[in-house]
């Protein structure tokens, strides 16, 4: 688990160099990634940006008519998330856009981010195209899917 924390911290440190230090950021993840990977990302960001807020989701994974869905059965939104100017979505591994799509959609009900940054040390090589297809152009145009910090494609 310490390895995941260190990976998250490195991703947060690398990302912080690209962020506007005067902005507030909402970092979103699933509960499985919150304690180590996401904590590392947040620790890497905290000293360089105005504010960092956590949004944590508990998702179920179901197959409905051959399609993956990830309904949210619990969530935690830290007070201040709604004031975030940017959204950072963290996941340890992204094979398909199902969970990420569900969680971004839920957050778009309360946040109007200028950008949506997606961080994952492992992701399917088709993830970006598949995720962009799930959203209208107005939303997909603000995606920044980072794959320049040692992301391994699966």
Q: How confident is the model at residue 147 (pLDDT cuts 50, 70, 90)?
A: low
pLDDT for the residue numbered 148: 46
The structure's pTM equals 0.91
Write out the two tokens for 35.
């304690």
DSSP letter, residue 81: G
16-24 mean pLDDT: 93
**Closest by CA position to 17, among listed 53, 47, 48, 40:** 48
All structural domains of the chain: 2-153 (3.40.50.2020)
60-83: pLDDT as tens digits: 988 888 888 899 999 999 999 999
**pLDDT over 90 for what percent of the chain?**
71
Alpha-carbon distance 116 to 76, whole Å? Answer: 19
| Of 33 and 95, more confident | 33
Region 4-10: mean pLDDT is 91
pLDDT at 88 exceeding the cut of 90: yes
- pLDDT number for residue 150: 47
Cα–chain-centroid distance for residue 12? Answer: 12
Exposed, middle or buried by CB within 10 Å (0-12, 13-18, 19+), for 79?
A: exposed
Q: Three-state SS for 77?
A: strand
The kind and range of the H/E element at 136 are none
Nearest to 25 by CA among 119, 150, 147: 119
């Amino acid at each position: 688990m310490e390895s995941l924390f260190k990976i998250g911290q490195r991703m947060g440190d690398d990302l912080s160099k690209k962020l506007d230090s005067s902005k507030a950021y909402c970092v979103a993840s699933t509960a499985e990634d919150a304690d180590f990977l996401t904590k590392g990302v947040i620790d890497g960001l905290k000293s360089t940006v105005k504010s960092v807020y956590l949004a944590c989701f508990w998702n179920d994974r179901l197959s409905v008519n051959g399609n993956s869905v990830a309904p949210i059965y619990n969530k935690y939104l830290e007070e201040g998330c709604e004031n975030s100017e940017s959204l950072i979505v963290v996941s340890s591994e992204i094979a398909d856009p199902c969970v990420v799509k569900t969680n971004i959609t839920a957050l778009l009900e309360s946040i109007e981010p200028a950008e949506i940054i997606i961080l994952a040390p492992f992701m399917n090589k088709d993830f970006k195209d598949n995720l962009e297809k799930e959203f209208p152009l107005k939303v997909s145009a603000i995606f920044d899917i980072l794959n320049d910090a040692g992301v391994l494609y699966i």
